[in-house]
Amino acid sequence: MKTVGLIGGMSAESTAVYYQAINRRVRERLGGLHSAKLILWSVDFAPIAAAQARDDWAATGRELAQAARRLEVAGAEALLICANTMHLNAAEVQAAVSVPLIHIADATAEALKARGAARPLLLATRFTMEKPFYRERLAASGLPVRIPDAADRARLHAIIYDELVKGVIRGESKALVMQMIERGVAAGADAVIFGCTEIGLLLDPAELPLPAVDSAIAHCEAAADFALS
């Protein structure tokens, strides 16, 4: 079994999901008492979130590249950035190491295609929805994405940063996001991307009236498959 390195803490809530989901996938594949060989470097999210807010992606790139180098030295044979937004720095992370970076958008695209999606609605942080790094990667896989309107993007961003990354789950926020999905379907979306690793804490894909991919789970499944390849 190969060893996978996790750059986590963005947020700690969803990084816990990564640890559990990767181990669950390995146990399902191998049976018995098997679990994954993982190394976790968990960052302090507060300074990273502050850098995001001031649009200082060079600073976040330096922080993640340093974490990647530490994981490689520790023995990681592939890396995961346990956050969608921070894949804005995927190129800097990959350039810092010689082991592969398993990209969350690639794993998400494969899961969407397996569900027959063609016009997914992207629900994520404002950065992931509005900046091109994520949408363009999905479009290159043949999946042009839709995003909510500006008001819904602002509401969803606030729900993520003010609630979900702190472990706060509110029924009224779930209802608001379900309404965003309804508007997306009315505008032509045929699937939903949980494009923030915390959204799966709020919504269950099985509850939705159309196919949904939790990017965190798709990413974890890709990591486990690499580890067992």
Instruction: Report residue 126 as tokens.
Output: 């404002």
Nearest to 223 by CA among 89, 101, 56: 101
SS3 80: strand
- Residue 55 exposed, middle or buried by CB count within 10 Å (0-12, 13-18, 19+): exposed
- One domain, residues 146 and 81: no
Nearest to 218 by CA among 17, 13, 67, 42: 17
- One domain, residues 124 and 187: yes
What percentage of the chain reaches a pLDDT higher than 90?
A: 100
- One domain, residues 67 and 137: no
Query: What is the pTM (predicted TM-score) of this model?
Result: 0.96
pLDDT, position 201: 97
- One domain, residues 147 and 195: yes
* Residue 140's CATH number: 3.40.50.1860
pLDDT, position 16: 97
pLDDT, position 103: 98
- One domain, residues 95 and 122: no
- One domain, residues 83 and 182: no
- One domain, residues 175 and 199: yes
Provide the number of structural domains found in the chain.
Answer: 2
pLDDT, position 152: 98
pLDDT, position 29: 95
Per-residue pLDDT of 57-116, as tens digits, reads 999 999 999 999 999 999 999 999 999 999 999 999 999 999 999 999 999 999 999 999
Distance CA 158, CA 91 (A): 27
- One domain, residues 125 and 206: yes
- One domain, residues 140 and 203: yes
Considering the chain, what is the average pLDDT of its residues?
97
Domain span at residue 151 reads 105-214
Residue 36 and residue 224 in contact, taking contact as beta carbons nearer than 8 Å: yes
Average pLDDT over residues 178-195: 97
- DSSP sequence for 85-105: GGGGGHHHHHHH-SSPB--HH
- One domain, residues 118 and 87: no
pLDDT, position 116: 96
- One domain, residues 190 and 223: no
Amino acid code (one letter) for 140: A
- One domain, residues 33 and 132: no
